[in-house]
Amino acid sequence: MKISKSNVFKRVRKSVLSFILVIIISLLNVLFARMLHAEVFTATAYCSCKKCCDKDPSSKWYGITASGRKAVWGTVAVDRRLIKLGTRLRIEGFPKTTFRADDVGGAIKGKHIDLWFPSHREALEFGRQKLVVKLVRSRL
């Protein structure tokens, strides 16, 4: 079979088109996955104090989360039936922080997250908000 220039051109065009199609499909997949994992949660705040956690500063469990890690900025309490401990989260309004589900709380049920703050005053200032939460990586 004689391979003409136009035949080569057609083959190249075909592979370029399928390459573009693959890229478009993967981009759609990523977008879809992101949409699926983003939901509006009720967000409240807490700190390590006795009022919030009912642990005395002298207790060896003071400031220690349900996962055993020390509570730090980025620590979030979740309903572990909905979000597994260790899951990383992105929270609307905090673009620089990747949060981590490390804690639980009796009042944290369903689509509710509790953000840890270093002081009770900051926790009070945060109050209660409705925020978009994205699950970044689940520890499945």
When asked if residue 122 is in the footprint of Zn ion (CB under 5 A), the reply is no
Contacts with 133 (C-beta within 8 Å, 6 or more apart), sequence order: 38, 39, 40, 41, 43, 89, 90, 91, 92, 113
When asked if residue 49 is in the footprint of Zn ion (CB under 5 A), the reply is yes
Tell me whether residue 71 or residue 78 sits nearer to Zn ion (CB atom).
71
Rounded-to-integer distance, Cα 87 and Cα 101, Å = 5
Tell me whether residue 49 or residue 64 sits nearer to Zn ion (CB atom).
49
**H/E stretch holding 36:** helix 5-37
**Binder to Zn ion among 38, 52, 66, 136 (CB under 5 A)?**
52
When asked if residue 77 is in the footprint of Zn ion (CB under 5 A), the reply is no
When asked if residue 55 is in the footprint of Zn ion (CB under 5 A), the reply is no
* Tokens describing residue 63: 């400031």
What mask, x for binding Zn ion by CB under 5 A, covers residues 102 to 121? Answer: ------------------x-
DSSP-assigned letters across all residues of 39-75: EEEEEEEE-SSHHHH---TTSTTTTB-TTSSBP-TTE
Tokens 């700190």 map to which residue? 47
When asked if residue 38 is in the footprint of Zn ion (CB under 5 A), the reply is no
Tell me whether residue 47 or residue 113 sits nearer to Zn ion (CB atom).
47
When asked if residue 126 is in the footprint of Zn ion (CB under 5 A), the reply is no
Distance from CA of residue 133 to its chain's centroid? Answer: 6
Tell me whether residue 88 or residue 120 sits nearer to Zn ion (CB atom).
120
- Binding stretches for Zn ion (CB under 5 A): 47, 49, 51-52, 120
